[in-house]
A = this chain, B = another copy of it.
Amino acid sequence: MAHRIYANELEMLHECVETCNYCLESCLEEKDVQMMVDCIRLDRECAAACAFLAEAMTRDSAFVPELARACAVICKACAQECGKHKHAHCQECARVCTECASMCDRLAA
């Protein structure tokens, strides 16, 4: 068995899931929640995609590159939307998603 070691990648993905879900929850608490609707949607997508990719890695999936390709697109979209908002949770989420997207790009290559 060629069990790949993905320790750093898993840590990055878990961090991205947590950051996106924290951002989503924080957006729901914002007074201007109406402004945060796209952010909420993208946080949800990104958390789901990163969690799915992490699970695939732990089962030593042969399709990590294909899944990482899709995940990179989603992370970038989430980073772009979060980057539009000044809230600390959005800025932090934009930063983590950008980093995670870069990692996914490498995995997809």
Contacts and interface: CB of A to CB of B under 8 A. Distances in A.
Interface of A: 1, 3, 10, 14, 17-18, 21-22, 24-26, 28-29, 31, 33-34, 37, 40-41, 44-45, 47-49, 51-52, 54-56, 58-63, 66-67, 69-70, 73-74, 77
B48 A25 contact: no
B55 A17 contact: yes
Count identical subunits in the complex: 4
B1 A60 contact: no
A64 to B, nearest CB: 10
A73 B66 contact: yes
Contacts of A33: 33-34, 37
Contacts of A29: 1, 37
